[in-house]
Amino acid sequence: MNHCRMSEPSGRESCAARARTQESPQAAPEWVLVLFDVDGTLVDLAGAGRRAMERAFEESWGFDRALDGVRMGGRTDRAIVTAVLAARQRRPPGLAADIEHLFDEYLRLLPREVARTPYSATPGARELLEVLACEPRVKVGLATGNIERAAELKLSSAGIRGPFPFGAFGGAYDSRPALVRAAIAAGERLLPEGATYDTWVVGDTPHDVEAARATGVRALAVAQGPVSLAELAATGADLVVTDLAAALEARFWVARQRAP
């Protein structure tokens, strides 16, 4: 994965100033992993990904409107492609090869669709990432249903370039819980041996919350997509906010820090 670095909004003194403000002899010793979804969470739902995938199905096998009736929100790209191929009677043993072929076609078509309708950062996304980048005991990664290169294209289109030193991507996983487990394992490898840590999954769908629950970690649900605040509140997420600007104001990542 490309390790992205976000430039600090006010130069190098920005992080240093925050660190001096937050230093305390009672600072918590634990770490926090924050795992972000991409579509509907860090970037808006511009539609380029759906159009590129539908065109990939059509150009590969002549499937017309392959994604009609398919709920994509919160599902991994692998799960979406598998469901469409199974519905169109393209089953094993050729399924794995068909999935990889479709991904290749999708990535070939995605840049031109992104150019047609670029992505935008969601409210508060850049500001929240900038603050988290200055937190010495926070590691920020991705747990996205996108295949890796698609996530990079969407984030780049929205002007978001990190920092994401670890993550897990939807090209390798059919289930969201498996994706989140893989992202947690990748983040854990960046921590000191034996370190204690909390994990937050940040997403905009009930699938994100369910994956957090299935892996025993905390969930922050962001109601800035098609799923309403009330619907997300009903999932039992630890925190539900209207957007990432509100998440920044809540400072969710320090909520469970313990004194040494």
Query: 46-80, pLDDT tens digit by residue?
Result: 999 999 999 999 999 999 999 998 888 899 999 99
Distance CA 258, CA 198 (A): 11
Q: Please, which residues bridge with residue 218 across strands?
A: 200
Would you give the end-to-end CA distance of the chain in angstroms?
Answer: 34
Q: What is the pLDDT of residue 9?
A: 39
Q: What 3-state DSSP class applies to 143?
A: strand
pLDDT above 80: residue 162: no
Work out the mean pLDDT of the chain and round it to a whole number: 87
pLDDT above 60: residue 254: yes
Beta carbons of 216 and 201 less than 8 angstroms apart: no
181's enclosing H/E stretch is: helix 176-188
Q: Where are the alpha helices (DSSP H) in 38-147?
A: 48-61, 77-87, 95-116, 125-133
Beta carbons of 182 and 1 less than 8 angstroms apart: no
- pLDDT, tens digit (0-9, with 9 covering 90-100), for 104-136: 999 999 999 999 999 999 999 999 999 999 999
Which residue, among 158, 129, 124, 127, has the nearest Cα to 36 in the 3D structure? 129
- With bands split at pLDDT 50, 70 and 90, how would you rate the model's confidence at 238? very high
pLDDT above 50: residue 176: yes
- With bands split at pLDDT 50, 70 and 90, how would you rate the model's confidence at 5? very low
Tokens 């698609």 belong to: 150
Beta carbons of 37 and 209 less than 8 angstroms apart: no
What is the chain's length?
260
